[in-house]
Structure 1
Amino acid sequence: MTTGAPTRTETTAPPKAGLLIAVLVGSAFVMILNETILSVALRDLTVDLGVPATTVQWLTSGFLLTMAVVIPITGYLLERFTPRAVFLTSLSLFSAGTLLAALAPGFEVLLAGRVVQAAGTAVMVPLLMTTIMRLVPPERRGATMGTITIVIAVAPALGPTIGGAVLAGLGWRWMFGLVLPLALIALVVGARYLRLTSQTRKVPFDVVSVLLSAVGFGGLLYGLSSIGESGGGEHPVPPWVAIAVGVVALAVFVGRQLRLQRADAALLDLRVFTRRPFSVAVTTSVPLFMCLIGASAILLPLYLQTVLGVSTFVSGLAVLPGGLVLGLLGRPVGTLFDRVGARPLVLPGAIATAAALWLFATLGAGSPLVAVIGIHVLLMAGLGLMMTPLMTEALGSLPDHLYSHGSAVLSTLQQVAGALGTAVFVTVAALGSAAGAAAPDEAGLRTAFVVAGVVGLVALVSATFVRGTRRDGPRSDDDAVAADSAA
């Protein structure tokens, strides 16, 4: 490696690598499940907590936003601290947030609990991705990364189903009360078995970058959600001002990272974008996650409950088949990626995703429930064909010393995309509904699904740039340094 290249964080594969990955996957599944478990309870929470629907949706958007703010720090954390220390901190935060949410007397405390939960969850997915990339040989990464699909895709997809069942029988507090023992069990098991031999190095922690990231993403989400909440009326901070501040802060954040990375001091090393496969995969993943979280996990339950008038339990069951399809596709699609590469899988998936979103836009009050379920299954099948190949293609194109930063960038943009999708689609649904409507109506939801269909077409266009051949393994560090110098 040439002088000035980043120092690697070496991780020696332990004898029980499969067990360690299983512990991480199980822990991450329980944590990511909480992204959307409250989505079917939004209507009930508006009554119990006495706040409007566009404010309650911050229990989901706030969770995603907190993850987007914290995830960029994980590149630093995974270099500075051992995987064991990062894991224990992550589970401890999540458990504390879950307990706080279960005992919350009102909306403010419940939101605080969700934020603490998200701070712990944010660290887990990059830790899982980085561990897999370092412990699993290149020829088996596709199949192994397929298990991550269960975590970052199936868990949010199953959230409404589990949430609906718990809400129907026990109440919303038990959504957290039942998760807490699982989190504590994962914490104990991880403390016992997660022992990776690793080398850490002292890297600078740039507080200014963290603040810029928080202001940037927070401004965007606050502005978009405020438009729907205020309906264009008065608001303490004008929505468009918040959006403008967010955009400027993110631009400054990017510029600062480009300067800091010359001295290997960036909070988030953006040299990962000098790899074309990584850039294309990330660009395609953004609209994908906007639709997964915003359209599937938020808009669809709202449509089922407010337009079709089904119960929260039935709406949860309605999305279960699609969630199962998404989970069942993870491992087989990953195995196919190891054989044929990304393009033969991503393109059909993008076509199916766009078609399903436009079919949602044709639904109305008289649409049969079986048709809704069928369209949702098509959407989940399309997303399942895309997700594992895109993640593996992105991280597999990076050298070892950029794994942690690549996983942090990928996870950050995925969560931002989910939060943006939620804010944009809920805002459009609110603005498209009749004046004075307590919740989005049929016309507003149809408009939101049309916007989701346009986002699906963007994903389809981006998918055409995914390469058609499979590459065995990442670039060497010498290749990486040469590419960085050229860039």
Structure 2
Amino acid sequence: MSAASTKKASPPDLSKIRRGPIVIALIIGAFVAILNETLLGNALPDLMKAFDVSASTIQWLSTAYMLVVGVLVPITALLQQWYTTRQMFLGAMILFLAGTVVAAVAPEFEVLLVGRIIQALGTGLMLPVMMNTILAIFPPEKRGGAMGLIGLVIMFAPAIGPTVSGLIMDSLSWRWLFYLVIPLAVFSIIFAAVYMKNVSEITKPKVDILSILLSTAGFGGIVYGFSSAGSHSWSDPEVYWTIIVGAVALLLFIWRQLVLKEPVMDLRAFKYPMFALVTVLMFVIMMTLFSTMTLLPMFLQGALLMTAFKSGLTMLPGGVINGIMAPVAGKLFDKFGPRVLVTPGLLLVVISIWMFTGIDETASTGYVITIHIIMLIGISLVMMPAQTTGLNQLPRHLYPHGTAIMNTLQQVSGAIGTALFISVMSNGAKDYLKDSSDPTNPAEAIKGMISGLHNAFWIGLFVAIVALIIGLFIKKTHPPEGEEGRMMGH
């Protein structure tokens, strides 16, 4: 960052700020936005019937959401230097509310899709603002606990999403998935309007349109390419060309950020070794998390023949325990630093995925719940402590860039992980049925699916072992010289 751009504005005075209400405002907003991301998963079969569309069309409700968030997040670093925290957060929540209303009253599929896209714009703006605000208002030694509270929401909301949507779908129409979110979003906006304060530095850097276009084409192409690989085959030109175009645009984007004086996404954050290491770790761990979240319901419904609601209930204990563990891990992080948490956490993830490689149609519900709990305890020990460690090493002016980089790569890794694991699973199932003596037999179809799942989990195990090796190098960080004194007047 050039000296010119850092001295334009003095940072806001944070010494008298009331942190509690700001954190509550962030948590309510995050809960509403993230809950909505998983509410729809269980309802897709019903929506296919309601709008009379195919599985590959309905998939767009999820793909478009990920796509918009993936494209928008890189630009948030720039937006946070132009608009106050309060403007960003309220803008994000109002967009989200507008999208929810559009989706709730949608007369046809296209309108529902537009509603989802507007919702995604709100979510994409909000997640980085949330992390950036925590970094700004808490000194390094208290950040773990605060990030843990945010972690509780980020993990708890997706955990209860499938169960809540299963309940709603069993007794009400799909529109209630949106109606119920509206009052929560309205409450969040009113609460934030009263309590949210500005905590960011407004420097109004130059806007480089070319960077924004390259970032959109790059991240958008990669997320879209991998997402559509789930419903198409890898040899489909639409899949590999979007990935190639995305990769080229991304390389050009990276090159441009390195030569610009005021980059849209300042990649100089990667000069800080612990931030770089944690970013790679988060990429790998999110691949594992997203793909397991996709594969497990398929196994529960396809092999154990559970209803959507029951599979949601089966995944609930893991999610609830993960939510409870996040603040605990945050407090432990503040006390002991990352190493005590991250290595054991990754070890638990490796053990749980290794256990998943052996499950079949004879597995009891209790056994599946146990493995899922082990995995999510592991993930809660890794996620927030590792992220906080990486971001703690950055100087203040790189906070918006650091949070934008991490959030973007998590979206991208989620798309890549889900596509990779689903395609491994479906190819494994096809190969099994090819050699089967009775491929039309439903029992054989279940065996084929399990064979494909095992292949996917073996790859997941390899990815988790890579994460474990990276995790061994993570250690406690401190902000650069001169930053600690400026934090909060400490």
State TM-score, norm by structure 1: 0.90
Question: 1:137 offset after TM fit, Å?
Answer: 1.8
Partner of 2:78: 76
Matched, 1:285 2:282: yes
Question: 1:266 offset after TM fit, Å?
Answer: 0.7
Equivalent residue in structure 2 for 1:59, among 58, 61, 73: 61
Partner of 2:12: 11
Q: Which moved more, 1:8-17 or 1:206-215?
A: 8-17
Question: 1:327 offset after TM fit, Å?
Answer: 0.9
Partner of 1:381: 377
Q: Return the alpha-carbon distance in structure 2 between the equivalents of residues 242 and 278 of structure 1.
A: 29
- Seen in structure 2, the aligned counterparts of structure 1 residues 247 and 3 have a Cα distance that, compared at 3 Å, is closer
- The alignment partner of 1:465 has SS state of coil
- The alignment partner of 1:229 has SS state of coil
- Seen in structure 2, the aligned counterparts of structure 1 residues 232 and 410 have a Cα distance that, compared at 3 Å, is closer
Q: Which amino acid aligns with 1:224?
A: F
Partner of 1:266: 263
- Contact 1:221-1:423 at 8 Å conserved across structures: no
Question: 1:51 offset after TM fit, Å?
Answer: 4.0
Question: 1:258 offset after TM fit, Å?
Answer: 0.7
- Seen in structure 2, the aligned counterparts of structure 1 residues 292 and 346 have a Cα distance that, compared at 3 Å, is same
Question: 1:24 offset after TM fit, Å?
Answer: 1.0
Partner of 2:361: 365
- Seen in structure 2, the aligned counterparts of structure 1 residues 130 and 232 have a Cα distance that, compared at 3 Å, is closer
Partner of 1:405: 401
- Seen in structure 2, the aligned counterparts of structure 1 residues 340 and 372 have a Cα distance that, compared at 3 Å, is same
- Seen in structure 2, the aligned counterparts of structure 1 residues 2 and 317 have a Cα distance that, compared at 3 Å, is closer
Partner of 1:423: 419
- Seen in structure 2, the aligned counterparts of structure 1 residues 301 and 62 have a Cα distance that, compared at 3 Å, is same
1:88-142 C-alpha deviation (Å, 9 max, x unpaired)? 1101110111112222334433222222111111111211111111111222111
Q: Which moved more, 1:108-117 or 1:17-26?
A: 108-117
- Seen in structure 2, the aligned counterparts of structure 1 residues 307 and 290 have a Cα distance that, compared at 3 Å, is same
Q: Return the alpha-carbon distance in structure 2 between the equivalents of residues 224 and 122 of structure 1.
A: 19
Structure 1: stretches of 5+ with no match in the other structure: 480-487
Q: Which amino acid aligns with 2:331?
A: T
Q: Return the alpha-carbon distance in structure 1 between the equivalents of residues 26 and 380 of structure 2.
A: 21
- Contact 1:40-1:164 at 8 Å conserved across structures: yes
1:331-371 C-alpha deviation (Å, 9 max, x unpaired)? 11111111221112101111111221222222222211111
Residues 160-309 of structure 1: pairs in structure 2 closer than 5 A: 160-196=162-198, 199-231=201-233, 237-260=237-260, 263=261, 265-296=262-293, 298-309=294-305
Partner of 1:150: 152
Matched, 1:391 2:387: yes
- Contact 1:54-1:426 at 8 Å conserved across structures: no
Matched, 1:443 2:439: no
Q: Return the alpha-carbon distance in structure 2 between the equivalents of residues 450 and 87 of structure 1.
A: 41
State TM-score, norm by structure 2: 0.90
Equivalent residue in structure 2 for 1:314, among 306, 310, 313: 310
Q: Return the alpha-carbon distance in structure 1 between the equivalents of residues 471 and 330 of structure 2.
A: 17
Structure 2: stretches of 5+ with no match in the other structure: 434-438, 486-490
Deviating 4+ runs (over 6 angstroms)? 435-440
- The alignment partner of 2:6 has SS state of coil
Equivalent residue in structure 2 for 1:112, among 111, 114, 117: 114
- Contact 1:398-1:474 at 8 Å conserved across structures: yes
Q: Return the alpha-carbon distance in structure 1 between the equivalents of residues 151 and 166 of structure 2.
A: 22
Q: Which amino acid aligns with 1:240?
A: Y
- Seen in structure 2, the aligned counterparts of structure 1 residues 40 and 111 have a Cα distance that, compared at 3 Å, is same
Matched, 1:343 2:351: no
- Seen in structure 2, the aligned counterparts of structure 1 residues 412 and 84 have a Cα distance that, compared at 3 Å, is same
Paired positions, count: 471
Q: Which amino acid aligns with 2:482?
A: S
- The alignment partner of 1:238 has SS state of helix
Partner of 1:485: none
- Contact 1:362-1:446 at 8 Å conserved across structures: yes
Aligned-pair Cα RMSD in Å:
2.5
Question: 1:460 offset after TM fit, Å?
Answer: 1.3
